[in-house]
Structure 1
Amino acid sequence: MVGNADKRQHILDVATRLAGTKGLRALSVRSVAAASGVGATTLRAYFPSQSLLYQAVAERVVSFVLSDELVQDRSLAPADRLYASLRQFLPTAGEQDSALAMWFDMLTLALGSDANAEVLAMVRSGHDRSALIVARWFTLLAADGCALRDAPEVLAARFMALVDGLHLGLLLDGDPEALGWAERTLRWYAEQCLTAPGGNAVPA
């Protein structure tokens, strides 16, 4: 017999896959229930509203994509650990077009003329979850003795603004070298966030 936790996980698996293959416009209680093989009433027992379903999908995607493994690799220099972690926010060359199209579609649905409140909640949830993870990376570096130029939460907020700008630039710039430029910008940011030993740093 499938437990409640397993059924909820199954629904989230299906919803995430549906959003990735058919786009956010295809994500609804009815479509997810049908694809999951459960009734709409059963699905609502786990996700009482479409907004909560969207938020759960956003948080699941963020947690799945962003790993702490790189920032914890002490064989790397601190700036390299931070850059490798932040690089997870950029698409690879092979997935660039589809990943950026989905990002733009999500913002359009959340903020466009026919804005969808559920998608807006999803965007906010994913953004907040991402910022918390980035702040955690800075906190982990500080705990290892790395000097930070500002508080982890402040550095994370600045990064979130930076990466949104990089995504927009990649979407608009057809230059094949645009991704390399974005990567160099992230590396510069990683180096700027860390101070030299004895510098003016925020204590861990």
Structure 2
Amino acid sequence: METREKILQAAAEMIAEDMAAKLSVRAVAARAGVSTGSLRFHFPTQRALQDSLLARIYEDLLPGDPIRDRTLPPRERLLNCLRQVLAPLGTNEKARTAWGTIYRTFIEPEPTEPVRAAYLGHEREAERRVGHWLATLAEEGALPPGDHTRNVRFLLAVLNGLSVERALPTSESVLSAETDTLNAAVDHVFSTGPAPPAGRTRP
């Protein structure tokens, strides 16, 4: 196995054991059986290692990229991307287990620097992925070019809310209500586009 893959595998094992693992250079290098210098060669900073690992985790959890499937209209592709993020959570017991883990890892403990850094790493990768979807659609002309940060945050807020709903008791079909919400979110993104440049308002 290549050194880079050994390092990523060791870091993935550490994250699987503890989602808030600090992934220090020394600890990951020891787990991978490589020198700290070798780890630094492949990942010059702790953030570079964490971001590469999270990108790999997302690729494994969400294989393929529906945003590239040009056999479907842009709106359907974005909708499929959002559905793909929610699918691994499952519903009811599986969703409760997933949210229980997130609560115990990031909400219940004191917000120490390692906990904060671990959470922000997950957040950066989620923002990168959603930003990639909107940038791809903008490149194709389906969305106007510009700063899509506002809609990235909006879509992530929708996904977070829906993932919590999957774990909570409900009197109606979760997936039916979820589909309505996702459709409304996608409609919003296509109707608003990117934020206007600083100092300017929409006509």
Same fold (TM over 0.5): yes
Per-residue Cα deviation, 1:83-134 (whole angstroms, up to 9, x for no partner): 1112222034758745663454235323434344323212211211221221
Per-residue Cα deviation, 1:139-187 (whole angstroms, up to 9, x for no partner): 2112222145984221111111111111222222366832443243223
Query: Partners of 1:127 and 1:164 in 2: how far apart?
Result: 11
The answer (yes or no) to whether the contact 2:14–2:23 under 8 Å persists in 1 is: no
SS at 2:105's partner residue?
helix
**What amino acid is the match of 1:76?**
L
Query: Partners of 2:172 and 2:28 in 1: how far apart?
Result: 37
Runs of 5+ consecutive residues of structure 2 not aligned to the other structure: 196-203
Query: Partners of 2:128 and 2:20 in 1: how far apart?
Result: 27
Q: Does residue 72 of structure 2 align to residue 82 of structure 1? A: no
Paired position in structure 1 for 2:39: 46
Q: Does residue 161 of structure 2 align to residue 165 of structure 1? A: yes
Paired position in structure 1 for 2:198: none
Paired position in structure 1 for 2:182: 186
The answer (yes or no) to whether the contact 1:68–1:137 under 8 Å persists in 2 is: no
The answer (yes or no) to whether the contact 2:10–2:28 under 8 Å persists in 1 is: yes
Runs of 5+ consecutive residues of structure 1 not aligned to the other structure: none
Q: Specify whether residues 201 and 164 from structure 1 end up closer, same or farther in structure 2 by C-alpha distance, changes over 3 A only.
A: closer
Query: Partners of 2:93 and 2:166 in 1: how far apart?
Result: 9
Query: Partners of 1:111 and 1:192 in 2: how far apart?
Result: 30
Paired position in structure 1 for 2:19: 24
The answer (yes or no) to whether the contact 2:89–2:163 under 8 Å persists in 1 is: no
Distance apart, 1:79 and its partner CA: 0.9
**What amino acid is the match of 1:24?**
M
Paired position in structure 2 for 1:62: 58
Per-residue Cα deviation, 1:43-89 (whole angstroms, up to 9, x for no partner): 58526998776555334323544567311211101110111112222
Q: Does residue 102 of structure 2 align to residue 106 of structure 1? A: yes
SS at 2:72's partner residue?
coil
Query: Partners of 2:91 and 2:27 in 1: how far apart?
Result: 26
Q: Does residue 148 of structure 2 align to residue 152 of structure 1? A: yes
Q: TM-score, normalised by structure 1?
A: 0.69
Query: Partners of 1:114 and 1:202 in 2: how far apart?
Result: 36
Q: Specify whether residues 25 and 151 from structure 1 end up closer, same or farther in structure 2 by C-alpha distance, changes over 3 A only.
A: closer
Q: Does residue 11 of structure 2 align to residue 15 of structure 1? A: yes
Query: Partners of 1:72 and 1:167 in 2: how far apart?
Result: 24
